[in-house]
């Protein structure tokens, strides 16, 4: 009962209800923007689990997203229906996550960061080299799409976002999240306290991979194509980083705010033309320096009782 | 009210305010309402900038003559940073928010192909003034009813390959008596059909292909490529490059590779190329749309001069094709007397007008390259230019361009001819 | 014959990689900073050097000098605007400083890239070669510029070695790398040491950028690759180890050159990446890294 008196869950519920009615009052263009932003929100939340909680700089989120997207796209091209493709894409991403986690169990900090970066570079090279199957740098069309109606696409994305947020947020508040957090701050102490650091990190990797891959697959069936540019490129990694640091690391839900900020501001600033990326990056940099807890972290920070 | 709530509320209000302002902005009264044409291209790239500038110039020229059906043309521009995902969002904005009637988009095949399904979904007449992948027209051909909204204002790569062979036959075989060639291209989508085409048609014009190298577009060190080609002793290198250009040219010059460069080198068509390469471009031969001073049609020079006056420089080739694309749209809208997409497409297919680079028409539903620009005498043909002492000199076709090719001293053309 | 070609070409490329990476690793060694704006700083030096040489008639040497100066300025700006505020922030816990600096410099690198795009467009440019012409080296036609670049790289690295091992400043840097707290206790101002190391870094990165622009040409599109390749080399060699970085630069440079010559130019980057993964799996601290 104590919990229900706090405003947080109620605000969240209100926001979800308001968001769910959006197709009634929002134009198709803004619905499209929010649809993309919600998928980015899931990318960001999955990444936060590793970055914020486990303290690992993973430069390879697009390795997992790309595996999910291309896995699902290839299956769909082989005539498999969308729901199975989504499951398949997520499964392929999980396998990739485990492979990527193997060096993660040995490496720390920048060394780990580089290996994840290399995973992305190798995936990029493979996609280009096996262009016959993957479509190379021009990307791969998928025969089926979720829906051609902007409102329906929006609801799919919103539902996916809400479910992912509930699960990821719940996990982050469970013992797994606490142990990961302890590991991120002091690995040796966490191990000394008897936690199996390796096992928990592997779990974090698998969960992160599952949601990243699934989101990548969903995005593919929304856009109708999977391409290097939309799901694998390092530019996407950078956007995920921006989303998380802006929203507030180690908050999970901050990733949603960050994703919306990133996509919406990128669009609102479009009249700036080529400089919109500059402004978005500058805002994110200012947030890092002046509000290292990010937007949500700042909102939730206990005020000085003064 | 707790401080949390207040802060959350003020954030939400600020966001809502931003949205509201944004939605309100385009709703200003104007009569009669202008016809909007969206232009999606990367402004940091010279070829991307040229697309927007060419489109703007066309709109100004059309408006100066009274517009279309009494309505002005308004260009709405979007920067896509040459990213497919960015371009798709810009496209959605153009169509769903800004309600444009047609779109001129991008010089990159990857981006054009990402936009194409959206053109089909949103029923929006769209033209790419420079992207060369043959897949663009292939999709229109194969799924005409769905994809008929997409047009190409320049040539798909198989046609570029045909033009390369036609020019190489005249320039390298007839004039310089060369016998062998090496094909060198970046590993990109648009060069695959290009290479397939040249590999077949070069031997037909008299050039045996002795080597075929494809390289990673991120390559910075071209020494290994030049060395391995040199070992095969071709008389000429036929390039297929656009992502790279400055680097291979400078290294060709600095390493004094004794083989002339011909074919397509998209960056070399830019007027800044001489400065970008510090003059290493001297002697480089490439296919292009036109060169300064060349009057392909009565429109070419006036448009180039207007461009010079308005923007301070001679346009890249897609400045011309974008200019023609906007005029083609305007013509289609005028004939259809409406901006209904299906009627516009039907009228675009009937396009038959004097363009800046030749006579503009598009291939029909039954042709192999549906909705691509028609190639050949009587329509548009690319020209071939060479950098000579800081100037772009047209060297092919000989009826328009009588100038001869001149190579720097390290290039062994004479020897090649005598072999 | 082909072996000789590979030997000569790989040597110059690797020397250039090495020069780019040495400054990167030095900063990490002394101040624990991984600067992901590295490619951006090289770009600033190269583009502004080219601009002053081509548009303002400064000539190749004037342009190169100006470019190096601009690399230094960019390095200072990076330090004062991005890195130092994060290091000094009280809101950022010390254990997380590394993560914040990584993301901060990553964003800064993007701002540099987009800003340069805006001013100069993303068209690739090349600096004029400092020495034009070619020389025949045992039957391999080699540009003088290539030889000169290798020579400049190695001279600079040699000077750096002298600076670190034979001067007071160098000894302070070494001490800072090994035990910063001890140095502070001895009364040395760490901020002064940081400033010195960022100065050295700026000159090295600027020089690498200028030489790269005169050897291969440079475009703002290359920024990501430049940073990634320096990052790769430095990690492969072992973070903070200058000799390790040099060895790694040669491993990567030759792996790429050999692939381009003997396998296929399309596969050029791949073997180096695979080597990296294998080495890190067997030796998580890199070739010469300390743990």
Ranges of chain C with pLDDT below 70 = 290-291
Separation CA A190–CA B45 (nearest Å): 51
**Residues of B with Cβ-Cβ distance to C141 under 8 angstroms:** 255-256
Judged by CB atoms closer than 8 Å, whether chains meet at B44 and C121 is answered as: yes
Classify residue B230 as exposed, middle or buried by CB count within 10 Å of its CB (0-12, 13-18, 19+). Answer: middle
CATH architecture classification, C2-282: Orthogonal Bundle (1.10)
* Residue B102: predicted pLDDT: 97
Most A CBs within 10 Å: which of C21, C107, C116, C284, as the mutation test of the A interface? C107
> What does residue C140 show for φ and ψ, rounded to 5 degrees?
-105, 120
The string of DSSP letters for A45-88 reads HHHHIIIIIS------HHHHHHHHHHHHHHHHHTT--HHHHHHH
Query: By the 8 A CB rule, do C118 and C44 touch?
Result: no
Q: Which residues of B touch chain A, with CB atoms under 8 Å apart?
A: 2-5, 7-8, 11, 18-19, 22-23, 42-44, 77-79, 81, 83-86, 88-90, 92-93, 95-97, 109-110, 113-114, 117-118, 121, 133, 135, 187-189, 192
Q: Chain A to chain B, count of Cβ pairs less than 8 Å apart?
A: 96
**Residues of B with Cβ-Cβ distance to C2 under 8 angstroms:** 227, 231
Does the CB of C95 have a partner CB in chain A at under 8 Å?
Answer: yes
Separation CA A247–CA A234 (nearest Å): 20
Judged by CB atoms closer than 8 Å, whether chains meet at B214 and C266 is answered as: yes
**Residues of B with Cβ-Cβ distance to C268 under 8 angstroms:** 215-216, 219
**Tens digits of per-residue pLDDT, B204-224?**
999 999 999 998 888 888 988
* Residue A299: predicted pLDDT: 77
**Residues of C with Cβ-Cβ distance to A108 under 8 angstroms:** 284
* CATH superfamily assigned to domain B35-156+296-360: Response regulator (3.40.50.2300)
Judged by CB atoms closer than 8 Å, whether chains meet at B244 and C124 is answered as: yes
Angle, CA B403 vertex, CA B399 and CA B406 arms, to 5°: 145
Q: Which of A180-194, A286-300, B47-61, B93-107 has the lowest mean pLDDT?
A: A180-194
How many C-beta atoms lie closer than 10 Å to residue B164's C-beta?
28
Judged by CB atoms closer than 8 Å, whether chains meet at C280 and A111 is answered as: yes
What distance separates the 2 farthest-apart alpha carbons in chain C? 62
Distance from CA of B354 to the nearest CA of A (A): 33
Decide: helix, strand or coil at residue B375: strand
% of chain B exceeding 90 in pLDDT:
69
* B8, B23, B189: residue with CB nearest A138: B189
Query: By the 8 A CB rule, do A277 and A81 touch?
Result: no
- For the record, the structure tokens of B335 come out as 């004939």
pLDDT of chain A, 306 residues: tens digit per residue: 445 567 778 888 888 888 888 888 888 888 988 999 999 999 999 999 887 777 777 888 999 999 999 999 999 999 999 999 999 999 999 999 998 888 767 787 788 888 888 899 889 888 888 888 888 777 888 888 888 888 899 999 999 999 999 999 998 888 888 887 777 777 677 777 777 777 888 888 899 999 999 999 999 999 888 888 889 988 899 889 889 888 888 888 999 999 998 888 888 887 777 788 888 889 889 988 888 888 887 777 665 444
Distance from CA of B77 to the nearest CA of C (A): 16
> What does residue C200 show for φ and ψ, rounded to 5 degrees?
-60, -45
**Residues of A with Cβ-Cβ distance to B18 under 8 angstroms:** 268
* Residue C290: predicted pLDDT: 67
Contacts of C138 (CB under 8 A, 6+ apart): C4
In chain B, where are the structural domains located?
35-156+296-360, 158-292+382-418
Contacts of B204 (CB under 8 A, 6+ apart): B165
Q: Chain B to chain C, count of Cβ pairs less than 8 Å apart?
A: 104
Kindly provide the ipTM of the predicted complex, given to two decimals: 0.85
Judged by CB atoms closer than 8 Å, whether chains meet at B220 and C123 is answered as: no
DSSP state of B235: S
* A137, A225, A273: residue with CB nearest B188: A137
Q: Model's pTM, two decimal places?
A: 0.85
Residues in C 34-53 with any Cβ partner in A closer than 8 A: 34
Q: Which residues of C touch chain B, with CB atoms under 8 Å apart?
A: 2, 5-6, 9, 13, 54, 117-118, 121-129, 132, 134, 141-143, 145-146, 212, 216-217, 219-220, 222, 225, 256-257, 260-261, 264-269
Q: Which chains touch A (3 or more CB pairs under 8 A)?
A: B, C
Most C CBs within 10 Å: which of A48, A261, A281, as the mutation test of the C interface? A281
- For the record, the structure tokens of A251 come out as 């908050």
**Residues of B with Cβ-Cβ distance to A270 under 8 angstroms:** 78-79, 90, 93
Q: What average pLDDT score do residues B43-55 get?
A: 91
Q: Chain A to chain C, count of Cβ pairs less than 8 Å apart?
A: 108
Q: What average pLDDT score do residues B394-412 get?
A: 91
* C92, C273, C281: residue with CB nearest A103: C281
Does the CB of A234 have a partner CB in chain C at under 8 Å?
Answer: yes
* CATH superfamily assigned to domain B158-292+382-418: Response regulator (3.40.50.2300)
Query: By the 8 A CB rule, do A215 and A164 touch?
Result: yes
**Residues of B with Cβ-Cβ distance to C125 under 8 angstroms:** 246, 275-276
Contacts of B44 (CB under 8 A, 6+ apart): A274, B81, C117, C118, C121, C122, C220
Distance from CA of A225 to the nearest CA of B (A): 7
Does the pLDDT value for residue B6 go beyond 70?
no
**Residues of C with Cβ-Cβ distance to A106 under 8 angstroms:** 280-281, 284
**Tens digits of per-residue pLDDT, B322-355?**
999 999 999 999 999 999 999 999 999 999 999 9
Q: Which of A278-282, B204-208, B286-290, B404-408 has the lowest mean pLDDT?
A: A278-282
* Residue C49: predicted pLDDT: 93
For residue A144, what is the nearest residue in chain B, using CA coordinates?
Answer: B117
């Amino acid at each position: 009962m104590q919990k229900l008196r706090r405003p947080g869950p109620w605000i969240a519920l209100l926001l979800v209800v308001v968001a769910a009615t959006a197709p009634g009052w929002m134009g198709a263009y803004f619905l499209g923007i929010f649809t993309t932003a919600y998928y980015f929100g899931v990318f960001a939340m999955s990444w936060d689990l590793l970055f914020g909680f486990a303290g690992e700089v993973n430069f390879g989120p697009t390795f997992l997203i790309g595996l999910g997207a291309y896995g699902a796209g290839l299956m769909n091209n082989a005539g498999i229906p969308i729901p199975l493709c989504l499951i398949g894409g997520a499964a392929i991403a999980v396998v990739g996550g485990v492979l990527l986690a193997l060096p993660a169990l040995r490496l720390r900090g920048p060394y780990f960061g580089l290996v994840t970066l290399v995973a992305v570079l190798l995936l990029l090279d493979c996609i280009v080299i096996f262009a016959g199957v993957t479509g190379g740098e021009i990307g791969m069309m998928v025969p089926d799409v979720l829906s051609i109606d902007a409102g329906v696409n929006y609801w799919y994305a919103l539902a996916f976002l809400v479910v992912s947020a509930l699960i990821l947020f719940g996990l982050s508040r469970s013992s797994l999240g606490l142990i990961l957090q302890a590991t991120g701050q002091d690995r040796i102490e966490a191990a000394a306290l008897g936690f199996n650091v390796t096992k928990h990190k592997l779990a974090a990797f698998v969960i992160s991979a599952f949601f990243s891959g699934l989101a990548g697959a969903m995005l593919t069936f929304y856009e109708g194509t999977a391409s290097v540019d939309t799901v694998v490129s390092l530019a996407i990694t950078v956007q995920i980083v921006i989303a998380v640091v802006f929203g507030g690391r180690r908050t999970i839900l901050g990733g949603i705010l960050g994703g919306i900020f990133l996509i919406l501001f990128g669009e609102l600033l479009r009249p700036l033309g080529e400089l919109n990326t500059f402004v978005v990056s500058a805002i994110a940099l200012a947030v890092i320096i002046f509000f290292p807890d990010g937007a949500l972290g700042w909102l939730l920070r206990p005020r000085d009782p003064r | 009210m707790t401080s949390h709530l207040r802060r959350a509320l003020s954030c939400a209000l600020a966001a809502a305010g931003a949205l509201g302002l944004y939605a309100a902005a385009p709703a200003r009264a104007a009569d009669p309402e202008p016809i909007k044409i969206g232009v999606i291209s990367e402004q940091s790239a010279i070829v991307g900038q040229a697309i927007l500038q060419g489109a703007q110039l066309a709109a100004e020229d059309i408006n100066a003559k009274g517009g279309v059906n009494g309505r002005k043309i308004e260009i709405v521009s979007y920067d896509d940073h040459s990213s497919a995902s960015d371009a798709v969002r810009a496209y959605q904005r153009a169509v769903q928010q800004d309600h444009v009637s047609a779109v001129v988009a991008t010089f990159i095949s990857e981006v054009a192909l990402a936009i194409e399904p959206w053109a089909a979904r949103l029923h929006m007449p769209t033209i790419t003034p420079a992207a060369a992948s043959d897949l663009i027209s292939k999709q229109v051909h194969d799924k005409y009813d769905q994809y008929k909204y997409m047009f190409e204002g320049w040539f798909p790569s198989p046609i570029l390959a045909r033009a390369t062979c036609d020019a190489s036959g005249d320039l390298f075989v007839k004039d310089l008596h060369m016998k062998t060639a090496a094909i060198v291209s970046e590993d990109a989508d648009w060069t695959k059909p290009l290479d397939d085409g040249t590999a077949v048609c070069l031997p037909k014009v008299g050039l045996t292909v002795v080597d075929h190298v494809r390289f990673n577009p991120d390559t910075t060190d071209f020494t290994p490529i030049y060395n391995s080609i040199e070992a095969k002793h071709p008389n000429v290198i036929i390039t297929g490059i656009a992502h790279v250009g400055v680097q291979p040219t400078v290294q060709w010059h600095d390493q004094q590779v004794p083989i002339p460069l011909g074919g397509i080198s998209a960056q070399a068509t830019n007027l800044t190329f001489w400065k970008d390469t510090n003059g290493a471009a001297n002697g480089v031969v490439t296919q292009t749309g036109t060169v300064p001073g060349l009057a392909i049609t009565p429109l070419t020079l006036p448009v180039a001069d207007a461009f010079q006056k308005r923007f301070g420089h001679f346009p890249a080739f897609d400045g011309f094709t974008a200019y023609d694309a906007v005029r083609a749209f305007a013509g289609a809208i005028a004939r259809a007397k409406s901006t209904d997409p299906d009627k516009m497409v039907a009228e675009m297919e009937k396009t038959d007008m004097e363009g800046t680079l030749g006579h503009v028409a598009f291939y029909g539903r039954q042709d192999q390259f549906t909705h691509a620009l028609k190639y050949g005498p009587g329509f548009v043909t690319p020209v071939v230019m060479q950098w000579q002492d800081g100037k772009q000199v047209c060297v092919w076709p000989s009826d328009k361009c009588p100038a001869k090719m001149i190579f720097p001293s390290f290039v062994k053309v004479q020897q090649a001819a005598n072999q | 014959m082909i072996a000789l070609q590979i030997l000569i070409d790989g040597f110059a490329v690797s020397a250039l990689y090495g020069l780019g990476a040495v400054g990167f690793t030095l900063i990490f060694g002394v101040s624990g900073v991984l600067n992901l704006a590295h490619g951006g700083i090289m770009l600033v030096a190269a583009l502004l050097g080219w601009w002053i040489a081509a548009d303002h008639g400064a000539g190749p040497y004037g342009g190169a000098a100006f470019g190096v100066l601009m690399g230094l300025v960019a390095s200072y700006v990076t330090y004062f605007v991005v890195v130092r505020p994060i290091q000094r922030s009280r809101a950022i816990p010390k254990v997380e400083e590394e993560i914040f600096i990584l993301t901060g410099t990553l964003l800064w690198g993007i701002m540099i890239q987009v800003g340069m795009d805006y001013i100069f467009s993303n068209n690739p440019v090349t600096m004029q070669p400092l020495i034009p012409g070619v020389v025949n080296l045992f039957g391999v036609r080699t540009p003088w510029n290539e030889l000169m670049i290798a020579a400049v790289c190695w001279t600079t690295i040699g000077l750096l070695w002298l600076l670190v091992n034979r001067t007071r400043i160098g000894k302070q840097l070494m001490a800072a790398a090994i035990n910063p707290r001890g140095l502070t206790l001895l009364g040395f101002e760490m901020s002064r040491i940081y400033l010195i190391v960022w100065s050295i870094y700026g000159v090295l990165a600027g020089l690498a950028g200028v030489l790269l622009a005169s050897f291969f040409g440079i475009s703002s599109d290359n920024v990501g690759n430049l940073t990634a390749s320096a990052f790769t080399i430095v990690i492969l060699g072992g973070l903070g180890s200058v000799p390790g970085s040099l060895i790694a630069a040669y491993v990567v440079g030759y792996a790429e050159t050999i692939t381009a010559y003997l396998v296929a130019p399309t596969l050029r980057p791949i073997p180096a990446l695979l080597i990296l993964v294998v080495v890190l799996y067997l030796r998580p601290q890199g070739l010469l890294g300390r743990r």
